[in-house]
Amino acid sequence: MTRAHRLAAAVEFIHTATLLHDDVVDDSDERRGKDSANIIFGNEASVLVGDFLFSRAFQLMVADGNLDVLRILSDASAIIAEGEVLQLSAQNNLTTTMDDYAAVIEGKTASLFAAACEVGPVIAEQDEKIISAMRDYGMNLGMAFQIIDDVLDYNANRAKLGKAVGDDFREGKMTAPVILAIQKANKEEKDFWQRTLGDKNQKDGDLETAQTLIAKYDTLVQGMELARGYGDKAIQNLAHIPDSHLKKTLVDLVSFTISREY
């Protein structure tokens, strides 16, 4: 196993650990189109196996032995946990701003993309400029990815997404599509958002009403434009990386992230 493989596995273990814990925290029942682990094995196993994977990730990093890598990935892990806590406190809070939202998704999602992209050039002993460019690329890609994910939660073909549409609505998560719609809302619409997201008092048909309001203010398109802005920045971050097959893959990954429907 090369260092790159080992560290890629460490990142994947951290990611999987956060997904296992997320599904417990959000009480989700689907992940990638299948029953989630908490449904099949219970919350107990999901929490403990998440802890195990997290520990294994650190063992892999320690086996690599590079303190810079350890610092990058342990910092990212702490930031992810902070981002998740931040998201929990923003939940059901209608005063959440787009800046608050950006802080949440930078923490819970983009920081791991950034760390993963930074570790590559660090172990390849590239100079500081390349390392920093790759970190920025990862951060911007991660932001784009999460915004699209949040847009899809109100829009996607359920089967393609592999999870239930409207999960974020049911959980009262304050994501771009609703934050932008609440900013434009009239009195009656504000009451609707307050009842459904703020007071968690939802009934049949509410998701459809939410989708109608989101369509009225076109906030899915605004979310996609926001994501596209981050995607453009990610591509700009690659400007001084020498051309190669791998660079092209990184560029393509941005387009894929922006245009994915699942």
Query: Which positions touch a second copy (CB under 8 A)?
Result: 17-18, 21, 24-25, 43-45, 47-52, 54-56, 58-59, 61-62, 65, 67, 70-71, 74-75, 77-78, 80-82, 84-85, 88
State the minimum distance, in angstroms, from the CB of residue 74 to a second copy. Answer: 4
The C-alpha atoms of residue 260 and residue 124 are separated, in whole angstroms, by 31
State the minimum distance, in angstroms, from the CB of residue 125 to a second copy. Answer: 19
Q: Cite the DSSP H helix spans in 91-127.
A: 98-105, 111-123
State the minimum distance, in angstroms, from the CB of residue 89 to a second copy. Answer: 9
The C-alpha atoms of residue 174 and residue 177 are separated, in whole angstroms, by 8
State the minimum distance, in angstroms, from the CB of residue 61 to a second copy. Answer: 8
The C-alpha atoms of residue 238 and residue 143 are separated, in whole angstroms, by 16
User: Cβ closer to a second copy: 62 or 98?
Assistant: 62
Beta strands in the chain (DSSP E): 30-31, 34-35
User: Cβ closer to a second copy: 52 or 217?
Assistant: 52
State the minimum distance, in angstroms, from the CB of residue 76 to a second copy. Answer: 9
User: Cβ closer to a second copy: 135 or 228?
Assistant: 135
Under 8 Å between Cβ of 22 and 84 = yes
User: Cβ closer to a second copy: 18 or 175?
Assistant: 18
User: Cβ closer to a second copy: 59 or 183?
Assistant: 59
User: Cβ closer to a second copy: 21 or 228?
Assistant: 21
What burial letters (b/e) apply to 45-69, b meaning 16+ CB within 10 Å?
A: ebbebbeebbebbbebbeebeeeeb
Q: DSSP 3-state assignment of 155? A: coil
The C-alpha atoms of residue 170 and residue 255 are separated, in whole angstroms, by 30
State the minimum distance, in angstroms, from the CB of residue 39 to a second copy. Answer: 15
